Structure 1
Amino acid sequence: MLEIKGLSLALGEFSLADVNLTVRDGEYFIVLGPTGAGKTILLETIAGIYAPDTGSIALDGLDVTRTDPKDRGIGMVYQDYMLFPHLTVGENIGFGLKQRRDEPSLIAERVSETADLLGIGRLLGRTPGTLSGGEQQRAAIARALVLRPGVLLLDEPLSALDAVTRDRLRRELKAVHRATGTTVVHITHHFEDIFALADRVAVMQDGKVVQTGTPDEVFRKPATEFVAAFTGMENVFYGVSRVRDGEATIDLGAIVVRTVTAVEGDVCLGIRPEEVIVSREPFESSATNVFFGTVTEVQQNGIFSRVVVDVGLPFVAVLTRQSIARLGLAEGEPAYVTFKASAVHVFGR
């Protein structure tokens, strides 16, 4: 549906460098990355606001790299809504249709239909200044959707909202996507957006796409040290890998970790906190990595808590508060850390 090949663009402090992406028809595709990674520039280049220095953008097999933005069939929604304050919600939603000189009866029908889809049908006569942030964002999304774009681009659409509104709008976006089948490219900082909405994810770093895959693939099998750290793989260590018969031992100095990898020499390894088991006695399992140490930190964070066990290196684990109480885990108490060989992700350095 949307195919980007070799896209590069230098724009002041920001740039895109040889970006290659394919977004399938009807897919909800999320682009994740830190501030300055080039996410918004990528969206604006897809929309036609910027012309790339090199590379191409194709929609449904048609090259639109140099096509005027209004002729691309792409809708874009920014996080700050950009609604016209002097127009009603209904007039805002119908603005693009009016500019296109559609029949007034068709405009009214489309506006009503799209507003109802976003749950703001009752607000059509009001002005943006009288709406909550969530309502304004719904109106902005409706204004883009009413034109029935081939691709809908969402630039951090939930970032300016409070947690409760953000969660509600996530559910509504999922329902709208299911109802319309619109291809969506959504950029975000929030990991919750990915698991609630994304079919696939691309991670950007310094203007480049460094990994693409399903949410599970990206979070459980990061391709680089950067992706591991950025997606919350807190247990990141450096060592030397030696491989024999497909199995590897990685010397981290204080401990030696066993895993399966073909990467030898100086490496970085990562283990997600949720893959680490903490126990007071040796844990009975097939896991090959078991280390004894001392609890150095127990940080209560609502339902789940963060526990750090020093086994020569500090390992972070995530446990429920009930598990911590049942095990009697507290700072200074002895504990075992256990994790499977398959939980260890190895990256070359």
Structure 2
Amino acid sequence: MLEIRDLSLSLGEFSLDGVDLTVADAEYFIILGPTGAGKTILLETLAGIYTPKTGTITLDGRNITRTDPRDRGIGMVYQDYMLFPHLTVGENVGFGLRQRGDDPARIRETVRKTADLLGIGRLLERTPGTLSGGEQQRAAIARALVLRPRVLLLDEPLSALDAVTRDRLRKELKAVHRTTKTTVVHITHHFEDIFALADRVAVMQGGRIVQTGTPDEVFRKPATEFVAAFTGMENVYRGVSRVRDGEAAIDLGAITVRTVTAVEGDVCVGVRPEEVIVSREPFESSATNVFSGTVTEVQQNGMFSKVVVDAGRPFVAVLTRQSIARLGLAEGEPAYVTFKASAVHVFAR
């Protein structure tokens, strides 16, 4: 229902460069990318804040590329809430309806229902300065939703919140989306948002969309070396693939990795850290990739920690602190890394 074709725009150091994207009706679509990739500019261009140099934006079959923002049927919520401090929460939520000239009784009813949906019905008489960050963000989302937009744009709506509030609001966003069926385009830096909320994901780099797919497709089958590194694959190496009878031996220099692929020649190989098993003795399994090495680093990061084993190439694995202690893993100690052929993702360089 939302179609973006060849969208280009330059704005100082930020730009869009031939962006192509399609979002389905009622889809929760998340855009991921590093700072400066063009994510916010893309959302603001969809909202009508900027006019693209080239390309088209089509919503429900209607070309809205140069339509006034008020007439697009698109709502936008920023990370910093942008609530009016002198108005109550109820007045903030109903602001757009009043601007539109709706009946006051209808405004009160619509505001109440939308506020209840987001769990802020009891706060309608309060002012924004008396609310927590999570409550302010709920009010900002309610203000956008009350207008019943065809598309709701969310610009990193959870980034300014603490971890507990972020997790709670994620669940509420999922429930609101399920109830309203509003099409959502949400940009984020948090991988947790993607797996909790997204139907599909797009990755941006340098003003372009470089990969689109389900969360599992993007994280487990990255299309490029950049996407692999950005989504935390970490174990990414360059090598040469030689295929025989559907099975590939990939020469990484010091070691040879085996997998099933039809891709030959110069390739990139990726293995996610959670797919790598670390042991003190050769691990008994059907896995075809087993390499001996030495632990070079143990990074203690709360519940889960990273262990780096140099087995001809440095492999990063994720283990619990209890597993590290039980195995006696420490820098300088010998260890084995093991991973299945199916855990190896191969893509052309």
Instruction: Give the Cα separation in 1 of the matches to 2:49 and 2:243.
Output: 50
Q: Aligned-pair distance for 1:276?
A: 0.6
What letter matches 1:165 in structure 2? T
Mean CA deviation greater in 273-282 or 197-206: 273-282
Secondary structure at the counterpart of residue 319 of structure 2: strand
Is 1:171–2:171 an aligned residue pair? yes
What letter matches 1:49 in structure 2? I
- Residue-by-residue CA offset, 1:6-47 (whole Å, 9 max, x unaligned): 211122211111111111111111000000001001111111
Mean CA deviation greater in 304-313 or 243-252: 243-252
Instruction: Give the Cα separation in 2 of the matches to 1:342 and 1:18.
Output: 34
- Residue-by-residue CA offset, 1:173-214 (whole Å, 9 max, x unaligned): 111111111110000001011011111100000011111111
- Residue-by-residue CA offset, 1:232-291 (whole Å, 9 max, x unaligned): 011111222222333222211111111222333332211100011112222222221110
Give unpaired runs (5+ residues) of structure 2.
Answer: none
User: What does residue 141 of structure 2 align with?
Assistant: 141
User: What does residue 72 of structure 2 align with?
Assistant: 72
Secondary structure at the counterpart of residue 97 of structure 1: helix
Q: Aligned-pair distance for 1:229?
A: 0.1
Is 1:252–2:249 an aligned residue pair? no
- Residue-by-residue CA offset, 1:291-337 (whole Å, 9 max, x unaligned): 01112222222222211111121111111223223323222222111
What letter matches 2:331 in structure 1? E
Instruction: Give the Cα separation in 2 of the matches to 1:321 and 1:246.
Output: 39
TM-score (norm 2): 0.97
Is 1:40–2:43 an aligned residue pair? no
Instruction: Give the Cα separation in 2 of the matches to 1:303 and 1:324.
Output: 11
User: What does residue 273 of structure 1 align with?
Assistant: 273
Aligned length: 349
Is 1:183–2:180 an aligned residue pair? no
Runs of 4+ in 1 over 4 A off after TM superposition: none
Instruction: Give the Cα separation in 2 of the matches to 1:316 and 1:73.
Output: 46
Instruction: Give the Cα separation in 1 of the matches to 2:253 and 2:10.
Output: 42
Matches within 5 A, 1:79-94: 79-94=79-94
Secondary structure at the counterpart of residue 242 of structure 1: strand
User: What does residue 227 of structure 1 align with?
Assistant: 227
Mean CA deviation greater in 227-236 or 303-312: 303-312
Instruction: Give the Cα separation in 2 of the matches to 1:288 and 1:138.
Output: 50
Instruction: Give the Cα separation in 1 of the matches to 2:260 and 2:335.
Output: 26
What letter matches 1:256 in structure 2? T
What letter matches 1:29 in structure 2? F
Matches within 5 A, 1:102-121: 102-121=102-121
What letter matches 2:327 in structure 1? L
User: What does residue 242 of structure 2 align with?
Assistant: 242
Mean CA deviation greater in 67-76 or 292-301: 292-301
User: What does residue 101 of structure 1 align with?
Assistant: 101
Instruction: Give the Cα separation in 2 of the matches to 1:159 and 1:86.
Output: 25
User: Percent identity between the aligned chains?
Assistant: 86
Is 1:284–2:303 an aligned residue pair? no
Instruction: Give the Cα separation in 2 of the matches to 1:307 and 1:153.
Output: 39
Mean CA deviation greater in 312-321 or 188-197: 312-321
Secondary structure at the counterpart of residue 300 of structure 2: strand
Secondary structure at the counterpart of residue 41 of structure 2: helix
What letter matches 2:5 in structure 1? K
Secondary structure at the counterpart of residue 19 of structure 1: strand
Instruction: Give the Cα separation in 2 of the matches to 1:87 and 1:69.
Output: 23
Secondary structure at the counterpart of residue 301 of structure 1: coil
Instruction: Give the Cα separation in 1 of the matches to 2:234 and 2:109.
Output: 51
What letter matches 2:223 in structure 1? A
TM-score (norm 1): 0.97
Secondary structure at the counterpart of residue 160 of structure 2: coil
